[in-house]
Amino acid sequence: MNETVVALFDDFATSQRVVEDLVDAGFSRDDISLVANDSAGEYTQYVGAENVTAGQGAGFGAIIGTLTGLGVALIPGVGPVLAAGPLAAALFAGVGAAVGAATGGLVAGLVDLGVPEDDAEYYAEGVRRGGTLVIVHTLPANAQRVEDVFNLHDPVNIEHRTDEYRKAGWSGYDSTAQPYTPDQVAEERQRYRAGLSDQYPSFEIYESDFRTHYDNYFVNSGYTYAQYVPAYRYGYSLGMNDTYRDYDWTQVEPIARRQWEDRYSGTWEDFKDAVREGWRKLTNPV
């Protein structure tokens, strides 16, 4: 029996990179679902009944554009969403991959894929407030690899997030509630984005240090500094990720190596020290 692995991300750009990494890691597009809040109508212009991949390279990238069943629909309690993959079939419920009103709900669609109902309601509220869900239906043996990809992109801790909702007066997901307006969605996104930027320095602050590190250790490696930047940035993202902040490098390295090799096969030994340096800057900056 397959397992369903779900993660919520605060912005669409991050979820797009997650889907790209999943495809690069060998997961089938047919097994990946995505649901993104579209309160501002930014995706509707790229999706239509006649050409559902019109957004390739423009609105949301070639990988997203080739997920199965891509379309935009109105979801009760959430509002307009971009949806693709197996979950889209449940949401559109006979409408088809086009702009229209879905007859099913997001919670019901997630439950049908095997997500516990309480968790499904939390995820639905996250989408209602502007988030994007990425869902993978896969063999149990592959579930950890999916979670590794998710964790590299710092997914929302759904339990912590719903605690914050409750502190602000939220009493549970309501499919009859009014969808958030574009302004309300923008406020929600900014709230959590601001919290992250307050907690962690930006990658650019460390760029001169990374350049010095490259000059000291890799200038004769045969790779340019520009080729090393993805390794430093990858390590930085690991250090910024709460999942790995309490790990030491011996615990992080197997996860980092597996994901790096999925994308850049055969190059881990060349770049692992740069990845470690990026990670160290956030976890042990002295």
The 3 state secondary structure assigned to 156-225 is CCHHHHHHHHHHCCCCCCCCCCCCCCHHHHHHHHHHHHHHHHHHCCCHHHHHHHHHHHHHHHCCCCCCCH
The residue-averaged pLDDT of 46-75 equals: 62
Half-sphere exposure (Cβ direction) of 98: Cα atoms closer than 13 Å: 8
- Do 213 and 161 fall within a single domain? no
Answer yes or no: is 251 within a domain: yes
The verdict on 156 and 33 lying in the same domain is yes
Q: What share of the chain is helix, strand, coil (3-state, %, to 5)?
A: 55, 10, 35
| In a domain? residue 184 | no
Least confident of 34-38, 52-56, 128-132, 157-161: 52-56
Structure tokens at 28: 């089938």
Res 91: pLDDT: 79
The pLDDT of residue 200 is 66
pTM: 0.71
> Within 13 Å and on the Cβ side, how many CA atoms surround 136?
27
Confidence of residue 49 (pLDDT cuts 50, 70, 90): very low
Residues 86 and 153 grouped into a single domain: yes
283 token code pair: 């976890």
Co-location of 152 and 220 in the same domain: no
Percent pLDDT > 70 in the chain is 86
Alpha-carbon distances of 95 from 30, 37, 196, rounded to whole Å: 19, 19, 39
Does residue 82 lie in a domain region? yes
In this structure, the answer to whether residues 278 and 226 fall within a common structural domain is yes
Per-residue pLDDT, 132: 95
Mean pLDDT of the chain: 83
145 shares a domain with 46: yes
Domain range for 257: 203-283
Name the 3-class secondary structure at 67: coil
Sign of CA dihedral 133, 117, 39, 85: positive
**Mind listing the pLDDT tens digit for each residue in 77-128?**
898 999 998 888 777 764 443 444 454 588 988 988 889 999 999 999 999 9
Higher pLDDT, 67 or 84: 84
* Mean pLDDT to the nearest integer, 157-164: 88
Alpha-carbon gap, residue 217 to 13, rounded angstroms: 33
The answer on 249 and 155 residing in a single domain is no
d(CA 111, CA 59): 29
Which pLDDT value is given to residue 124? 94
Q: Does 24 score more than 80 pLDDT?
A: yes
Burial class (CB in 10 A: 0-12, 13-18, 19+), 50: exposed
> Are residues 248 and 110 part of one domain?
no
Query: Look-up: residue for tokens 């940035």?
Result: 233
Q: What is the pLDDT of residues 180-235, one digit of tens each?
A: 999 998 888 877 765 554 566 778 788 899 999 999 999 999 999 989 988 998 89
Give residue 32's pLDDT.
Answer: 94
pLDDT at 43 (0 to 100):
78
pLDDT in the model for residue 258: 84
- Classify residue 190: in a domain, yes or no: no
Q: For residue 82, what is the enclosing H or E element? A: strand 79-84
Statement to judge: residues 16 and 157 lie in one domain? yes
Tokens read off for 266: 């055969």
Kindly state whether residues 241 and 106 are assigned to the same domain: no
- Structure confidence at residue 97 (pLDDT): 39
Beta bridge partners of 136: 5, 32
Task: Give the per-residue pLDDT at 223.
Answer: 92
198 assigned to some structural domain: no
Domain-terminating residue out of 167, 194, 215: 167
- Domain contains 108: yes
Q: Are residues 140 and 23 in the same domain?
A: yes
Residue count of the chain: 286
Q: How many domains does the chain have?
A: 2
* Model confidence band, residue 268 (pLDDT cutoffs 50, 70, 90): very high
Question: Residue 100: its pLDDT value, please?
Answer: 45
Instruction: Give the rounded distance of the alpha carbon of 279 from its chain centre.
Output: 20
Per the model's pLDDT, the better-predicted residue between 88 and 274 turns out to be 274
State whether 233 and 117 are in the same domain.
no
Q: Of the candidates 144, 167, 190, which is a domain's last residue?
A: 167
Q: What is the pLDDT of residues 225-251, one digit of tens each?
A: 989 988 998 898 888 777 776 788 998
Tell which of 115, 150, 167 closes a domain. Answer: 167
Residue 189 lies in a domain: no
Q: Is residue 194 domain-resident?
A: no
Position 283 confidence tier, pLDDT thresholds 50, 70, 90: confident
